[in-house]
Structure 1
Amino acid sequence: METVSLVLVMLVAVLFASILRRMLPASFSVPQPLLQIALGAGIGMVSDWRLQMDPQVFFLLFLPPLLFLDGWRIPKEGLSHDRGIILSLAIGLVVFTVVGAGYFINWLLPSIPLGVAFALAAVISPTDPVAVSAIAARIPIPKRLMHILEGESLLNDASGLVCLRFAVAAVLSGGFELSDAVLDFLRLAVGGVAIGVAIAWSINWAKRWISRHFGEEAAAQILVSLLLPFLAYLAAEHLHCSGILAAVAAGFVMSRTELSGQALAVTRLQRRAVWDTLQYALNGLMFVLLGEQLPGIVSRLGILDDPGTLSWLLLYVLIINLSLMGLRFVWVFASLRFTLFAGKNAAAFQPRKALSIAAVTSVAGVRGAISLAGVMTLPLYISFGYPFPARDLVIFLTTGVIIVSLIVAGIGLPLLIRGLEMPYEPEEHVHENRARDQAAQAAIKAIEQALHRLSEDCPDAGGYIEVASRVTDTYRSRIESRAASLESQNLTRVAEEVERQLLLVGLQAERSELFRLARTRRLDEQQARRLIRQIDLIEAQHIR
């Protein structure tokens, strides 16, 4: 009962951190994960409750859905366009960081065995997509660089956690052979991806068949999507393959399946809302949980009894952060010439520009939820009941690295981002406008075909023709207005912003009136909900 109560209190803390961040003035913006850790630490200090969770259970509950969502929502176009540098950061940089930081941490802190140092380096090697997006919401990062950072953070989770698995296995077994590790990695990776793809494809095929023959129920579809990452993960682990990569692969398949457009619109809207809520809750809960564990970790490390120890540990955290940024800077600068400035962009390569991009990318390497999830999965004991070496110290250092990376990015990025120039990338709105026009032309064609079929079935189709003309005129005016707008680019942005503001004012007034009618029982409650939801969807498309 205490465990359930503590989890509920932590969820309330997640909500309170969000409210508190919004209440703070814009000049005093604090990253939300820091508030969540602080609230969790407050819970740990004022309460005697402690959430004792088996690391494997923690791994199962938190990581499969988050990694599945990463694979599902990764920007495929940006990944394809900048696949060279993204894969270089997501795989090459992770291995480079694990090796370099692992040896450095073992040299800096000899009390941490080499295998445990590699585990710590693997934990702090992945960057966090949620933290990167949160910082980008406050700092105008160039769009192409943001795509690269998002693609990296969505892919390096799996590579970092796979490296963590090997490091932990080396600690538990007491040995490590590089050749065996490479073969095991290939077996884990290929098997995990194959199992994830097979399970996701099979379930989605069965789901489509059932929907086509017996109809679709939105709640059942959402439940299937929630169960899918756990099924892929457990199946891969049962077959001694990588459950991490299986969850990511299942997310990729889910993304491709969604593009088929076979699900109902209501299913897509509700499913997205459910997954957004789940992602928000899991990410926040991990930070609060870490804060709740901190008082006990600090007590076991003896920091409170010896202030000098705390000073040294904080110094170690700063040094480890500097080493991570240094390794990241070296890797990014060395790889830019062969990735971002390759091919047609080779002539644009300038050492000064490359240094600026490498510096911004290094500071933007924010650690977050995945690092937390990884460090919390470290085993409590090794063989014969001996505790896992330096586990509390590794958790403390990981927490410090996360906090410092958030602070450094919040302070350093606004300074480094000024004047940053990225290689040319075609504007996305050109493709979007072309797609809108093509969609409108397809709609006009479909309406005309439907009208022709109705005319054959009904002798007097004059009313149908008039209705069809009104609908097609709407699509034609949309195409013509966009074509006309291209002739007056100097006024487009101002006019669009004015139109957007006026539309939002009108939508707010319309929604307020519907609420009033529902409160006074002049409108059925279900009808009011449906109409208000339609307004909400329109507003969501125009909010920036």
Structure 2
Amino acid sequence: MDTVFLVLLLIAAVVVANIVYWKFNKIPIAFIQIAAGLVLSLFPIYKHFELEPEIFLLVIISVLMFNDGQHTSLGRLTHQFGTTFSLSVELAIISILVVGFVTHLIIPSMPLALAFALGAIITPTDAVAVSSITSNMLVPTNVMGTLENESLFNDASGIVALNLAIAAAVTGKFSLWNGIGNFMYVFFGGIIVGAILGALIVTIRLKLINMHVDTPSVMVPFTLLTPFVVYLIAEAIGVSGILAVVMTGLMHGIQQNRLRLTSSRLQIVMTSTWQIVSSILNGIVFVLLGLSLPSVIINLHKHDSGSVTILFGIGILLYAIMTIMRYLWTNWDFARIRAWDKKEKHANSIVMAYSGVHGTITLAMAFSLSLTLNGQPFPFRNDIIFVAAVVILTSLLVPTLVLPLLLPHQETKYTDAELAKAKGQMVDDAILSLQSRHGGSINTSQVVTILDGQRNIEGRADKAKLDIIFDNCFELEKQTIESMLQSGDISELNADLYMRVARRTIMQYQQSNWQRISLFFRFNIVERASFSKKARKRRKVFRQMANHSHATKAELIKRNRQMWQSMTKVEKQPYDKIISYLNQSLINDSDNNREITIVRRAYDERHRRLTNDFNSHEEFENNQNELLIEAFQQENTYIQSKITSKEFSTDLGGALYEQISTDQLVYLQSLNEE
């Protein structure tokens, strides 16, 4: 139970960090998550917190690698295979060897096998971290694609090399040829096993789709379990579970078009689920770094296995060495990146060098080191974790400061205010079109209410304005009912019954107790005192009729139904006048959109309750669906006309088109599920 609570706190820390990042998005989110971990480290409950290293490989790394694989373009990967292999395997192996020898030279007491393990840990790059740093910059497309492909496979190279280094540390022996043979078996064996399992799993998914068993409750858990199953099977065979997971993800990416034959609803749920899972797992790793860093530093001082200052300097040095190697590797064409001339080639090489950001996988691999080795505490474990942390932080900080000086700033194609304004104009056009074609029917009003929900209206409703609009609507109802009563259109009993409903509506939407008390006094004391004898007699007769001792239950139900059926006729005229008043107010006073929308929804909902009981529910839904489709078509037409006239940019129009598509799917599905 304690472990569950601790993990929930880690997730909560990730959520808080994401909220802070939303307000301060100039700071890379990894730094904020590390800070959240540092805050958690102050809690006594985390004093002796240890997460099993195996959990990192199975629960975190395998899931993240599968997600990366299924979002990788196989066409681009195949086209850049030579460059990808050169960076993710050849450069990775050379970097591991160089880092290992340099570390062993500086710290002779560290066994060479563990020095190579450190090299394997800090070699993998993180394209996701690069994307977060360069979100406001224009990174060359070919460079970004190369970084994404590289990070997919050098993670696996690092993990395989780490396992070989740990095995050498355990046995105390290392044979070059045996090492190469094991590397080839584990590396390519993982790819083959992943391809076979991936093809099998995709086939099962397609069969489920063809059998119409493609609901989110089945397909989402099925997909989430995939990396765990593949990883465990591959590891049981003795090949790389991580590479198997990557290959399975790639197989899902290859078959993505066929897998999209499933419902749009499932695709939205699936995409959102993976985004959330990936974000949380990435965040947890950096929170754990902040959480563990103080204890790592304390342990370093306790065991005197190396000065913190020396280890810090080693981390900076190793980062500098790997950065220089990345520049030389691409600039000397060991890994070719398309460029028009030497100047562009030089610029791409510099960006590639500084984009060697080390993130989640590096940290997860460091934490995955076993707590013991040959029955003894793992030697230099804290040293390796600390150096890895220094490399990660340096690789995040340096490009954050340097890349903005090298890359052009990404221009904002449209602001949030422009998008909100354009969306409001689009909604207004659709509403006016519906009202001109279909009048103020209940179906039209309901669709207008739904369309109003598309607006991006900031802030809270102004309570004073809300009270004024509700009061105006109530007075309008009262005047309309009195006019209908004087002309003989309705009976006094129906007029009295309607006003009771009107008063209840006003009281229901008053938020403060003082306002409710005030309205109760007004409706039940002031107005009741002004009732005529005839009105009081009418109420008495009504109560006697409802409570008549000789009336059977069936008779009372019949009377009640007849009474409310007559109410639907009474309610139509005041409702039409209220909607007309609100529509006119919406056109004349756009500053009160939010308040008018709230009032309109209140009266629309009441109107629907009063009329829905006596109309065909199926026919009602069908009419609404037809009107919604018509409204969305009108919105698309409006956007197209604005783009043609160049009042809207193509990017702004594209953003509106995307939101309409999402809204159309969500609204129509919600209506069909009612």
1:3 matched to 2:85? The reply is no
Q: How does 1:350-429 map to 2 (within 5 A)?
A: 350=342, 352-383=343-374, 385-417=375-407
Aligned to 1:486: none
Displacement of 1:35 after TM fit?
A: 1.2
SS of residue in 2 equivalent to 1:181: helix
Any conservation in 2 of the 1:41–1:291 contact (CA below 8 Å)?
yes
From 80, 83, 91, give the equivalent of 2:81: 83
Any conservation in 2 of the 1:303–1:309 contact (CA below 8 Å)?
no
Any conservation in 1 of the 2:73–2:253 contact (CA below 8 Å)?
no
Alpha-carbon separation, structure 2, partners of 1:230 and 1:162: 18
1:513 matched to 2:504? The reply is no
Alpha-carbon separation, structure 2, partners of 1:92 and 1:64: 23
C-alpha offsets along residues 11-41 of structure 1, whole Å, 9 cap, x if unaligned? Answer: 11111112212323x6xx2211111112102
Displacement of 1:380 after TM fit?
A: 1.1
Displacement of 1:7 after TM fit?
A: 1.3
Any conservation in 1 of the 2:120–2:162 contact (CA below 8 Å)?
yes
Q: Mind listing any 5+ residue stretches in structure 2 that lack a counterpart?
A: 429-447, 455-596, 610-620, 636-655, 663-674
Q: How does 1:165-204 map to 2 (within 5 A)?
A: 165-204=163-202
Aligned to 1:72: 70
Q: How does 1:249-288 map to 2 (within 5 A)?
A: 249-260=247-258, 261-288=260-287
Any conservation in 1 of the 2:70–2:253 contact (CA below 8 Å)?
yes
Q: Which has the larger radius of gyration?
A: 2
**Identity, % of aligned pairs?**
29
Q: Mind listing any 5+ residue stretches in structure 1 that lack a counterpart?
A: 420-492
Any conservation in 2 of the 1:329–1:361 contact (CA below 8 Å)?
yes
Displacement of 1:214 after TM fit?
A: 4.8
- The residue type paired with residue 658 of structure 2 is I
Displacement of 1:303 after TM fit?
A: 7.8
C-alpha offsets along residues 309-363 of structure 1, whole Å, 9 cap, x if unaligned? Answer: 3333322221121111122222222226x6235xxx6xx442x543332222111
From 34, 37, 40, give the equivalent of 2:34: 37
Q: How does 1:223-302 map to 2 (within 5 A)?
A: 223-260=221-258, 261-302=260-301
- The residue type paired with residue 299 of structure 1 is I
SS of residue in 1 equivalent to 2:372: coil
Alpha-carbon separation, structure 2, partners of 1:413 and 1:494: 21
Higher relative contact order (CA 8 A, sep 6+): 1
Any conservation in 2 of the 1:332–1:358 contact (CA below 8 Å)?
yes
Aligned to 1:479: none
Aligned to 1:475: none
Alpha-carbon separation, structure 2, partners of 1:275 and 1:540: 23
Any conservation in 1 of the 2:92–2:157 contact (CA below 8 Å)?
yes
Distance 1:291 1:519, change over 3 A: farther
Please, which moves more after superposition, 493-502 or 121-130? 493-502
Distance 1:214 1:102, change over 3 A: same
Displacement of 1:110 after TM fit?
A: 2.1
1:46 matched to 2:46? The reply is no
Q: How does 1:134-145 map to 2 (within 5 A)?
A: 134-145=132-143
Alpha-carbon separation, structure 2, partners of 1:164 and 1:298: 23
Distance 1:184 1:268, change over 3 A: same
- The residue type paired with residue 386 of structure 1 is Q
Aligned to 2:160: 162
Displacement of 1:283 after TM fit?
A: 0.2
Displacement of 1:304 after TM fit?
A: 12
Alpha-carbon separation, structure 2, partners of 1:111 and 1:46: 35
Alpha-carbon separation, structure 2, partners of 1:266 and 1:412: 42
C-alpha offsets along residues 162-187 of structure 1, whole Å, 9 cap, x if unaligned? Answer: 11111111111111111112211222
- The residue type paired with residue 278 of structure 1 is V
Alpha-carbon separation, structure 1, partners of 2:425 and 2:94: 54
- The residue type paired with residue 30 of structure 1 is I
Any conservation in 2 of the 1:84–1:340 contact (CA below 8 Å)?
no
What's the RMSD between the two structures over aligned residues?
Answer: 3.4
1:539 matched to 2:659? The reply is yes
Aligned to 1:322: 320
C-alpha offsets along residues 198-221 of structure 1, whole Å, 9 cap, x if unaligned? Answer: 222222222322332354222211
Q: Which consecutive aligned stretches of 4+ in structure 1 deviate over 6 angstroms post-superposition? A: 303-306, 493-501, 507-512, 534-537
Alpha-carbon separation, structure 2, partners of 1:10 and 1:505: 40
Aligned to 1:490: none
Aligned to 1:450: none
Distance 1:506 1:311, change over 3 A: farther
Alpha-carbon separation, structure 1, partners of 2:224 and 2:427: 34
Alpha-carbon separation, structure 2, partners of 1:138 and 1:499: 19
SS of residue in 2 equivalent to 1:302: helix
Please, which moves more after superposition, 185-194 or 506-515? 506-515
- The residue type paired with residue 365 of structure 2 is G
1:56 matched to 2:25? The reply is no
- The residue type paired with residue 15 of structure 1 is V
Alpha-carbon separation, structure 1, partners of 2:55 and 2:414: 54
Any conservation in 1 of the 2:14–2:287 contact (CA below 8 Å)?
yes
Distance 1:321 1:264, change over 3 A: same
TM-score by length of 1: 0.76
Distance 1:60 1:508, change over 3 A: farther
SS of residue in 1 equivalent to 2:22: helix
Displacement of 1:394 after TM fit?
A: 0.4
Any conservation in 2 of the 1:333–1:354 contact (CA below 8 Å)?
yes
Any conservation in 2 of the 1:100–1:327 contact (CA below 8 Å)?
no
SS of residue in 2 equivalent to 1:10: helix
- The residue type paired with residue 400 of structure 1 is V
- The residue type paired with residue 18 of structure 1 is N
- The residue type paired with residue 31 of structure 2 is L
Alpha-carbon separation, structure 2, partners of 1:65 and 1:22: 25
Alpha-carbon separation, structure 2, partners of 1:326 and 1:222: 43
- The residue type paired with residue 36 of structure 1 is Q
Distance 1:54 1:519, change over 3 A: farther
Alpha-carbon separation, structure 2, partners of 1:169 and 1:521: 73
- The residue type paired with residue 126 of structure 1 is P
- The residue type paired with residue 44 of structure 1 is S
Please, which moves more after superposition, 493-502 or 13-22? 493-502
